[in-house]
Amino acid sequence: MSDKYTFENSSHGPAPFADLLSTFLRHADDPASAKYLDIFADDAQLMFGPAPAVGKEAIRIGREGSFNPDTGPIIAQQHRLGKIFFSPGANAAGASETQEVVANGSVSYWLKSGRQIDCTWVSWVTFKEQGQGGWRAVYYQVYLSTSELFDAIKEMTT
Question: In CATH, what number is assigned to the domain containing residue 97?
Answer: 3.10.450.50
Burial classification of residue 58, based on how many CB atoms lie within 10 Å of its CB (0-12 exposed, 13-18 middle, 19 or more buried): middle
Domain count, the chain: 1
Amino acid at 40: F
Alpha helices for the chain (secondary structure H):
17-28, 56-66, 147-157
Tell me how crowded residue 127 is: count the other CB atoms within 10 A of its CB. Answer: 25
d(CA 43, CA 28): 19
Q: Using one digit for the tens of pLDDT, what is the confidence trace for 44-66? A: 999 997 889 999 999 999 999 99
The verdict on residue 90 lying in a domain is yes
Domain hosting residue 63, numbered range? 10-157
- The model's pTM is 0.89
Q: Confirm whether 35 is domain-assigned.
A: yes
Q: Is residue 2 part of a domain?
A: no
Q: What's the confidence (pLDDT) of residue 1?
A: 42
pLDDT in tens, 95-128: 568 899 999 999 999 999 999 999 999 999 999 9
